[in-house]
Amino acid sequence: MAEPILDIRGLTKHFGGLCASRDITLDLRPGEIHALIGPNGAGKSTLVKQIAGALVPDSGTVHFRGQDVTRLSTAARARMGMGRTFQISSLAMEYTVLQNAVLGALCHRGTVWRLFDRVMRDKGLLAVAEEALEQVGLAEFRAVRTAELSHGQRRQLEVAVALTLRPQVFLMDEPMAGLGAEGSRRLIEFLSGLRATAPILLIEHDMDAVFSLADRVSVLVYGEIIATGPVADIRANATVRAAYLGEENAP
Amino acid sequence: MSWVLLAEQTLNGLSLGVMLFLMAAGLTLVFGVMGLINLAHGSLYMVGGFAAAAVAAATGSFLLALAASLVAAAIAGVIVEMTVIRRLYDRDHLDQVLATFALILVFSEATRWVFGSFPLFLDRPDWLGGTVTLPLGIEYSRYRLALIGIGLAIAGALFWMIAHTRIGIRIRAGENDREMIAALGVDISRLYTLVFALGAALAGLAGALIGAIQSVQVGMGEPVLILAFVVIVIGGIGSIKGALVGALLVGLTDTLGGFLLPKALGLVLSAPAATSVGASLASMSIYILMALVLLFRPRGLFGGG
Amino acid sequence: MTRESALNLAVMGALLAVPLWAWAADEPFLITLSTRAVIFAIAGVGLNVALGLGGLVSFGHALFFGLGGYAMGILAWHAQTYTNVTDWPLVLGGTKSMPLIWLVAVITSALAALAFGALSLRTAGVYFIMITLAFAQMFYYFAISWPAYGGEDGLSIYVRNGFPGLNTMDPIQYFAICYVLLLIVVLAVGRLAGSSFGLVLRAARQNEERVRAVGQAPYRLYLLAFTISGAITGLAGALFADLNRFVSPTMFSWQTSGEIMIFVILGGVGRVYGPVAGAALFILLEHVLGGLSEFWHIYLGAMLLGVVLFARGGIYGLLAGREAGHG
């Protein structure tokens, strides 16, 4: 089996008396989509924040590309190749779609400290940015102000910015939310092909998407991983059905 | 060095500290509850000073003057809150700074227009004049001692109010969650007006009390306002306890710095040089204190988060 | 041409046309007034790098304005008294050369902005506002209590400093110097806004989380912006002191910080040329309202209140519409 790119061991985080993450162990291997599911309040966002570096765990470690990054900042992890999309879109809202994509491409190239260039005429950056927009289906919206995009389109832009970073892994927090049926179908298709570029840790509520995309699924309930395994095993797992799927599938 | 002099300077530092607390308490409450930075707080201090001076001149009564400072500043506070400030709660800090800066301009010029540019003098009453003899033979101004007493009494009352009364509970709830307090059925805009008026009244009282030591004039509020900012940056914004600790620290640092630094430098420099360098350094001492606190506690001594 | 660039041209053109007309009509006072506007514009453009591009609400830019002023005052005073600024470890004399004074003013303010920025930027929001205000106040009191350079009374310089090939005492020539500097500064800041650094800095103002997620720590971006901002405002301070041939602690005062902020707000936050329009309007108001009433600050305050409450975006917001993405 391939070495995991992202390796999370024994991650624990308390907020006062509340245990938001309890001894979580999880990994992400090359070429796979690993979905993380769980009911609201299970601690998915807290976990993502610890992986991305926005929260420091009380104990446990995060290894990324073989290196212990538990104490590194969000920015440092991003530079190492963690491409994150946010649950609640986090974009520069006054910028155009293209500017947001160029921002990603620029920071990936690392030439941030040029003070007198004309960044929006930089052919290299524009090519990367436009390619990413093309891939997520936002090319025609390149000149639109981000604040004017629909929620679904903002998710697509999040993915596009992550693509410009040419990351080693993707952390995607509910990229489907707000997309219509057609948009979801296209994004599923796209993400499915993306796993060959870099593996994806996918937090998702849309069970159809999870079951059609994921290679493995982990189920998080009350801050604890209660099951990890291939899709078929998870579907069949009685504990999971009782704790989670039963509720979700109820009308 | 005379220990009596040192004790006297320490008491001066304390009296400056408690007066700064009166200013800082209102600022920090308004920030904690409403999330508003109010530069015009110094104007309310000035309103208190002028109201007291005018009433004292008309009636000759110092107590009436103090009452007038409380009432006038509270009324000014209510008017400003209802006409301008409440439009700013949902704005960003830049808008708040600018709008309240504009209020300073209006307040200062209006006061200059009514009272003129010359300082007014507010005399302390005879019964607070002269000195008292403290233990160890320390002679100290009765008035400044009264300031310390009044300041500490108000601090005590404020802590009690916040801990035990219904409005105190609402203030604490408002600091944590504005929506929750609205959901509890508390009329949030009345609470805000009340908190603002309370802060204004305390600032006005400080203006009157300090006005009797210095003088009452346009522009008297802003230097004190900036000191109060230093106080709450040190104490942690939103924390009353932080405001008290910060105020005493700043009061003592400022006063003792001005007293001790020239003496300390006198050990290595010639007398005139020590005096001038010492005075210059002393004028910077509280800001250096603030910088040190920031290095170790960027959110102040009692700041959350 | 967009409405914004048309307005830029109109503003810069008017600021040039008025003093030229005044020169032809022999109205030196009007030239001096225009020079003031140009210098304030430079200070505002400087503040706008921090405030408009970086979202850093500095209420302490008087610190840099004052440092620039004192750089001029101290160097020129030593030159006119034939004394040295320092005798040890280096013998450094004063100077009456403007370019040299500008260089010292810019470097001094940049270093101060770097140091105080490094400290202040550990905090954010309201803390940052109060701390920048407090540090400027620290310099104010220091300038008052430091007797070597005039203390509270300030320093007077008898003759305006020199610029090779020009007669700086001639109002229109000094105006020309300041106007060219403004032009250089505003063009440079325009390029800065559209540069790689500008793109990331303005993104950080909108959303720090986004900038972190693409691998940049906002702190260093802010620190560079604050340093550049302080340096430009310091240059304005040196020019202002030279215009008046006088420096005093007032240049460090919180009112000065407030006024520089007003230039930015009246013009329009984040618009590169906004502070130029704002400073010109401020001087106009000062002149017109000040002529009507001794208490013109009441009207200024009321107007500022109106702009903040009802016309956010200032002159540029009103006349040029919504901010474009800077290319």
What domains can be seen in chain A, in order of their start residue?
A: 1-81+167-251 (3.40.50.300), 91-166 (no CATH)
Domain of B151, in residue numbers:
3-218
The Cβ of residue B172 has, within 10 Å, a number of other Cβ atoms equal to 14
Which residues neighbour C76 within 8 Å (Cβ) at sequence distance 6 or greater? C94, C95, C96, C101, C157, C161
Specify the 3-state DSSP secondary structure of A6: strand
Mutate to test the interface with C, among A49, A73, A86, A90 (most CBs of C within 10 A): A90
Which residues lie below 8 Å from residue B274, measured CB to CB, with a gap of 6+? B262, B263, B265, B266, B268
- Give dist(CA B252, CA B255) in Å, integer: 5
Question: A191 versus A207: which is more confidently predicted?
Answer: A191
pLDDT of B184 above 90: no
Quick one: fold of C3-320?
A: ABC transporter involved in vitamin B12 uptake, BtuC (1.10.3470)
Residue C93, pLDDT > 90, answer: no
Q: Which residue has the tokens 């936002």?
A: A138
Residue B246 resides in a domain: no
Q: Do chains A and C touch (3 or more CB pairs under 8 A)?
A: yes
What SS3 class is residue A196? coil
C292 touches B: beta carbon within 8 Å: no
CB contact under 8 A, B106 and C305: yes
For residue A64, the cross-strand partners are A6, A67
Query: Comparing A98 with A249, which gets the higher pLDDT?
Result: A98
Concatenated DSSP letters of A38-55 = --TTSSHHHHHHHHHTSS
In a domain, B59, yes or no: yes
Residue C180 exposed, middle or buried by CB count within 10 Å (0-12, 13-18, 19+): exposed
Tell me, yes or no, if A123 comes closer than 8 A to chain C by beta carbon.
no
| Residue A228, phi then psi, degrees to nearest 5 | -135, 135
Measured between CA atoms, the residue of chain B closest to residue C299 is: B106
Cα distance between residue C320 and residue C268, in whole Å: 10
- Residue C315 to residue C311: CA distance in whole angstroms: 9
Per-residue confidence band for A246, with pLDDT thresholds at 50, 70 and 90: low
Chains C and B touch (3+ CB pairs under 8 A): yes
Tokens representing A71?
A: 């104490």
Structure tokens that stand for C253 in this block: 């005062």
* pLDDT of C327: 39
Helix (H/G/I), strand (E/B), else coil: A203:
strand
Beta bridge partners of B134: B138
Distance to chain C for A132, nearest Cα, Å = 15
Tell me whether the omega of the peptide bond preceding residue A30 falls within 30 degrees of 0, making it cis: no
Can you give the pLDDT at residue C326? 45
Taking residues B110-136, report their average pLDDT.
88
C51: DSSP letter: I
The confidence score (pLDDT) of residue A69 equals 95
Residue B137 placed within a domain: yes
Residue A161 has its nearest CB partner, among C209, C212, C214, at C214
Percentage of chain A modeled with pLDDT above 90: 68
Closest CA to A195 of A229, A218, A172, A227: A172
Tell me, yes or no, if C51 comes closer than 8 A to chain B by beta carbon: yes
- Res. B65: pLDDT tops 60: yes
Does the residue B116 lie in any domain?
A: yes
User: Residue C16's pLDDT is what?
Assistant: 97
Residue A249 pLDDT level (bands cut at 50, 70, 90): very low
B69-100: pLDDT as tens digits = 999 999 999 999 999 999 999 899 999 999 99
> Does residue C97 surpass a pLDDT of 80?
yes
Lowest-confidence region among C7-11, C42-46, C156-160, C266-270: C266-270
Residue B133 structure tokens = 């003899």
First to last CA, chain A: 40
In which element (H, E) is residue A24 found?
strand A18-28
For residue B211 the two structure tokens come to: 């006005």
CB contact under 8 A, A84 and C213: yes
**In chain C, whose CA is at the least distance from the CA of B290?**
C131
A200 Cβ contact list (under 8 Å, min separation 6)? A28, A32, A33, A34, A169, A170, A172, A191, A194
- How far the first Cα of chain C sits from its last, in Å, is 12
In this structure, is residue B23 part of a structural domain?
A: yes
Helix pair angle (B3-34, B41-59), 10° resolution: 120
Q: What pLDDT band is residue C153 in, cutting at 50, 70 and 90? A: very high
pLDDT at position C178 is 98
Question: Tokens standing for C89?
Answer: 């470890």
Which ipTM score applies to this complex? 0.91
> What is the C-alpha end-to-end distance of chain B, expressed in Å?
44
Q: Which chains touch B (3 or more CB pairs under 8 A)?
A: C
C200 touches chain A (CB under 8 A): yes
Distance between CA C116 and CA B220 in Å, rounded? 27
Closest CA to A5 of A58, A89, A67: A67
Does the residue B46 lie in any domain? yes
Contact, B18 vs B155, CB < 8 A?
yes
CA C140 and chain centroid, separation: 17
The encoded tokens of residue A108 equal 């990936």
A137 Cβ contact list (under 8 Å, min separation 6): A156, A183, A186, A190
Which pair of structure tokens corresponds to residue C317?
A: 């917001």
Percentages helix, strand, coil for chain C (3-state, rounded to 5) are: 75, 5, 20
C-chain CB neighbours of A126 within 8 Å are: none
Section A18-44 average pLDDT? 91
Q: What are the structural domain ranges in chain C?
A: 3-320
The type of residue at C153 is: D
B301 near C CB under 8 A? no
Q: What is the pLDDT of residues C65-88, one digit of tens each?
A: 999 999 999 999 999 999 988 887
B206 located within any domain: yes
Task: Indicate the DSSP class of residue C166.
Answer: B
The residues, any chain, with a CB within 8 Å of residue C17's CB and separated by 6 or more, are none
Nearest CB partner across the interface for A99, out of C191, C199, C214: C199
Q: Is-contact C175 C270, C-beta < 8 A?
A: no
Give every CB contact of residue C50 below 8 A, 6+ residues apart in sequence: C56, C58, C61, C222, C225, C226, C229, C230
In chain C the beta strands, taken as DSSP E runs, fall at 84-86, 92-93, 155-156, 246-247
Mean pLDDT of the region B187-191: 83
- Provide the percentage of residues in chain A whose pLDDT is more than 70: 96
CA distance to partner chain C, nearest, from residue A127 (Å): 16
C210 to A119: CB separation less than 8 angstroms, yes or no: no
Residue C137: the pLDDT is 93
CB–CB contact B99 C51 (8 Å): no
CB atoms closer than 10 angstroms to residue B130: 11
- The predicted pLDDT at position A241 comes to 75
Q: Output the six-digit token pair for C28.
A: 């030196």
Name the residue facing C213 among A74, A106, A113 (closest C-beta).
A74
Nearest to C271 by CA among C50, C53, C42: C53
The three-class DSSP label of residue C87 is: coil
Is the Cα dihedral B263, B266, B271, B273 positive or negative? negative
Taking CB atoms and an 8 Å cutoff, what residues of chain C touch A145?
325
**C258 neighbourhood in chain B, CB within 8 Å:** 101
Residues on chain C touching B37 (C-beta within 8 angstroms)? 126, 129-130
Between positions 217 and 276 of C, the ones with CB within 8 A of B are 254, 258, 261-262, 265, 269
Residue B297 has pLDDT above 70, yes or no: yes
Residues B281 and C265: their CA atoms lie apart, in Å, by: 35
**To probe the interface with C, which of B84, B287, B301 has the most C CB atoms within 10 Å?**
B287
Give the residue, A185 or B136, on which the prediction is more confident.
A185
pLDDT above 70 as % of chain B: 95
Query: Using the beta-carbon criterion (under 8 Å), do C308 and B276 form an inter-chain contact?
Result: no
Q: Which of A90, A97, A112 to mutate to test the interface with C (most CBs of C within 10 A)?
A: A112
Neighbours of chain A (3+ CB pairs under 8 A): C
Residues in chain B: 305
Tell me the per-residue pLDDT of C184-205, one tens digit each, with 9 for 90 and over: 999 999 999 999 999 999 999 9
